[in-house]
Chain A
């Protein structure tokens, strides 16, 4: 088992989580909880795959996937923002809806062959760096590199720009923003849409780059939910989201690869000699998410600031004190 390959593949798998997590960070920062990530990702994966197959252009596929997820996210946005319904239930319904649509429209997709994928390549100079070059800059899908760029850009946008400041205000104390003339509702619709776009991109990353193909629900197999958990671990910060996502990606890959070698660290590899232990390995990512959640929740309690204060609460003008 080559640890470098594990880490390298981890970065690729982690990119999926990265897009979804950052998208949800935008949404939650504006005060809206969108639990439909899994369904939106699935929709993005399915749409991307189909459109890529029929147009022969993976870029169009990715774009279509993003837009599809973005559009469906607006259903949740309308119900949560305009109708002021419970955001948890609305998000869950969105999940069912998007998953259902993906399964219906994705019927038979797994029989497609040679669906065009996103280009992969290595970055010339950087790939030569020992260790890090192998992991981060060699032979990755272009989406991975886009992911790298996205991290600092998103961080900068949220923390160092005026629209980012408005975003934060709307999620923390919408009344203050409203009184200053900021349209709370419009911003929330927008950022739910952004979350949808990125979730769709995450899905497209699966079907058009990292794990090409369409496998019904198994395409995403819970990564959307892991992303929701990662948002809490990331404390709504894109940089921590990146750390969490790549770590998780590596973990998933490790789980696959660890069953290969007969020896690990000089000791007999229990996973090689008893392949059935692999099931417990498969539990690891999910168990880790829970552990990450415990860590994140405790931090939220300790630090005074963490969760956007208005998260999950519909904004009703005229209600004093949030």
Chain B
């Protein structure tokens, strides 16, 4: 057997020169990849503009509005950050799973369950109402992470044991999580028959910058909360795991070539379960942080699709934890300002276009395209 390259049969007969596509023989420069990501976003915005126009809106006004409404002042920037915090966490959740080619589409459901777990501490209740704040926070943190991990364990186990496709199982669990929460929202923990629980008491709230307005007047009205610290710590932890730890090496190896990992003696099944649990834990943490830092009660609408957007963020960040943080801020802006844009599906659509462009651009990383003069064959 010899390594003979493939024959290129059939070329385009229309032009005096043909388009040749060849696998790259060397790595493209590092900045090339980032450039492609950037271009993907630009193209997506252009396509989005076209579609907005087609639907009868004014694209440039919309975009200007987005920019102003999310970065225009310290106040709105703070709001952007608030939206970015859960995105960072779900983005990290997806990152670690995708690194192992585990397609966790269930970050949304794990988010809900994490929120539920954290709420349980207040609403069951697990702690007396006047317990010190830091105990509340820690306990809610633990519950959020635990239940998120549990919800990640289920599809992980099913895949490891029965080879059940994790895309579908995590997705189904999303819907199950919503109904689970609904039961508690409408029935068990409902406040006066309304579709929400009672408001959490203050000592179950994550501290916000605004809480310190008395000492630092500049913080007045800023809703950025402690969840940001969780998110940043998580980013560092995931970075350490992926690039500096032995476990991360195993994860990356399994993701690239499971046969090689097996050959090296790494247990794939165990890692499927562990990584899904970690992923679920992160998404659960996102839920806890949102519940305790922003919403302060358990209700139906606690997420404008944070779990799903996390997927796109992870992809756009090329599965790099620090890039996830940066990209999350951008998407936070999109979500924040996007609420006011008509029509309401614009952010979702732009996200879709971004992903499509990204994947298409991946091709350019592996192949070179160039024009060659046609020679008579």
Contacts and interface: CB of A to CB of B under 8 A. Distances in A.
A and B directly contacting (CB within 8 A): yes
Interface of A: 35, 39, 75, 79, 83-86, 88-90, 92-108, 216, 221-222, 225-226, 228-229, 232, 276-277, 279-280, 282-283, 286-287, 289-290, 293-294, 297-298, 300-301, 316-318, 320
B7 A94 contact: no
Interface of B: 1, 4-7, 9, 51-52, 54-55, 103, 105, 158, 162-165, 167-169, 171-173, 175-176, 179-180, 182-183, 186-188, 308, 311-312, 315, 342-353, 355-356, 358-360, 362-363
B312 A96 contact: yes
A289 B343 CA distance: 33
Given A301-B163, A318-B7, A101 B158 contact: no
A93 B179 contact: no
Contact of B349 (A85, A103, A280, A289): A103
Residue with the highest number of chain B CB atoms closer than 10 Å, among A97, A102, A277, A293: A97
A214 to B, nearest CB: 12
A286 B179 CA distance: 11
B179 A280 contact: yes
B368 to A, nearest CB: 14
The main secondary structure of chain A at its interface with chain B is helix
In the A-B complex, the 6 residue pairs with the smallest Cβ-Cβ separation, listed nearest first, are: A103-B345, A100-B349, A97-B352, A318-B6, A96-B352, A93-B355
B162 A100 contact: no
Contact of A86 (B6, B162, B311, B359): B359
B175 A100 contact: no
Contact of B176 (A90, A95, A102, A283): A283
Residue with the highest number of chain A CB atoms closer than 10 Å, among B6, B52, B162: B162
Contacts of A103: 343-345, 348-349
Contacts of A107: 55, 342-345
A315 to B, nearest CB: 12
Contact of B158 (A99, A280, A294): A294
Nearest to A105: B55
A289 B168 contact: yes
Given A84-B363, A216-B345, A287-B176, 7 more contacts: A93-B358, A97-B353, A100-B351, A104-B51, A279-B183, A294-B158, A297-B164
Nearest to A88: B103
Contacts of B358: 93
A282 B358 CA distance: 36
B163 A79 contact: no
The main secondary structure of chain B at its interface with chain A is helix
Nearest to A296: B164
Contact of B362 (A85, A96, A294, A317): A85
24 contacts: A39-B352, A83-B362, A83-B363, A85-B359, A89-B355, A94-B356, A96-B312, A103-B344, A104-B346, A105-B54, A216-B345, A222-B175, A225-B172, A228-B167, A229-B172, A276-B183, A276-B188, A279-B179, A283-B175, A283-B179, A287-B172, A289-B168, A290-B169, A297-B165
Given A97-B353, A280-B179, A89 B315 contact: yes
A128 B359 CA distance: 55
Contacts of B308: 96
Given A85-B362, A283-B179, A276 B186 contact: yes
A225 B176 contact: no
Given A75-B356, A84-B363, A317-B6, A293 B348 contact: no
A97 B346 contact: no
Contact of A286 (B9, B175, B188, B311): B175
B359 A222 contact: no
B168 A225 contact: yes
A227 B344 CA distance: 27
Residue with the highest number of chain A CB atoms closer than 10 Å, among B158, B168, B180, B311: B168
Given A101-B349, A107-B344, A287-B176, A293 B187 contact: no
Residue with the highest number of chain B CB atoms closer than 10 Å, among A75, A94, A103, A316: A103
A85 B363 contact: yes
A35 B167 CA distance: 9
Given A90-B359, A100-B351, A289 B162 contact: no
